[in-house]
Amino acid sequence: MISTLISYPIRVFLLLCFLSLVVFAQKVERISVGVDKHLYRVYITLTHPSWFKFIKDPKRDLLIIKVPNDKKFEREFYSVLIKGSKNLITLLVKNPKLDVYRAKAIKRYRTIVVLIPFKNTRNAPYKIVIDPGHGGKDSGAIYGGVKEKVVNYQIALKLYHLLKEDPRFKPYLTRWGDRYISLAGRQKFTAKVGADLFISIHANANPYNPNRRGVEFYVLSDKGIRLKIRDLVEHPEHAKAFFSETIAHNRYLTKEVAKTTLEITQDEGEEFARILQHLWCINLRNLIPCGGIYKRAFAVLKVPGVPAILVEVGYLSNPTDRKILLNPSDQWKIARTLYRAILEYFDLKPLKEGK
């Protein structure tokens, strides 16, 4: 027989080559979606029938499919962002009306069908976390007897009340009153409530240039993404604050999912920053000058999957900005501009009078 004429090492080599072709030729061939009043369906068709493992992480609105896949891709639909990497497909569910907790996946020959039901509740409000910077023993900048933590909280509280009056939103504050909350605590709180948007409110200072004025917007940097991924991979106990235990205890899953979700944090944060900057330049430029958008590795911006922005609403070290930031009427103007930016980001219209 031919097999007897082939040496054992060569047979092993040929077998490995064959297996390599089978495994590495596997890839996603097509992705499509379908929607009705009960279900959102994602169809992922592979080149060959295959095993898969379905993992849900409702806390982060994540669905993960472990499946042989050798093709990198990224597809975005209205409600779901789908990314493919080595042997992994992640679905980030962006529509808060979809119920990730009840999602399931079934196999139909070469196609994996992910079924995501709509929530039973009539209203599925967007969850907005407002973070008044500093607090308690951490006063922030102090100029002219004015403590930054006080200004931050006053503006944050006004934004909270504007959102509270709008049934399309469910606002949260990371701190109530003059309390100290650690940076890690703010991150964990934001992840726990499953926020759709995170806004940290601060006031700036420049001790070397008291003439410096204006608002500035900060979003997550590439360095911040790298540092957060490293922390989550090296410390599974930290990852558990953001991902399910199944993900947190698997270094590869943690790395891939963290990368995907932190890129969302960065990209969507930038989009919101551009909207807010535009509206600020229109509505508030005569009050507090319009400033730029910058990337930083600030801790509060590192919540995977949550679009995040830190706003320095003005300079306490500048007498003009300080006077404006202390004025309740001007604080309301700032809060309303933040509220309008949130509406535009979620593609919502202002409420009609009386609603």
Are both 9-117 and 126-345 of the same fold? Answer: no
Instruction: Please check whether the domain covering 126-345 is classified as CATH 3.40.630.40.
Output: yes
Q: Going residue by residue through the chain (355 aa), what tens digit of pLDDT does each one get?
A: 434 444 544 444 444 444 343 444 578 888 989 988 889 999 998 888 888 888 888 767 889 998 888 888 888 887 899 998 888 899 989 888 888 888 999 888 889 999 999 887 566 788 999 999 999 999 999 999 999 999 999 999 999 999 999 999 999 999 999 999 999 999 999 999 989 899 999 999 999 999 999 999 999 999 999 999 999 999 999 999 998 888 888 898 899 889 888 988 998 899 999 999 999 999 999 999 999 999 999 999 999 989 999 999 999 999 999 999 999 999 999 999 999 999 999 888 998 765 5
3-state SS class at 305 = coil
Domain segments of the chain as ranges: 9-117, 126-345
Q: Is the dihedral of CA 156, 241, 235, 175 positive or negative?
A: positive
Helix then strand then coil, in percent of the chain rounded to 5, is 40, 30, 35
Amino acid at 306: V
CA dihedral 151, 152, 155, 158 (to 10 degrees): -120
pTM value is 0.80
Q: Where are the alpha helices (DSSP H) in the chain?
A: 2-5, 8-24, 148-164, 183-193, 222-234, 236-239, 245-248, 251-283, 319-326, 328-345
Which CATH topology does 9-117 take? Immunoglobulin-like (2.60.40)
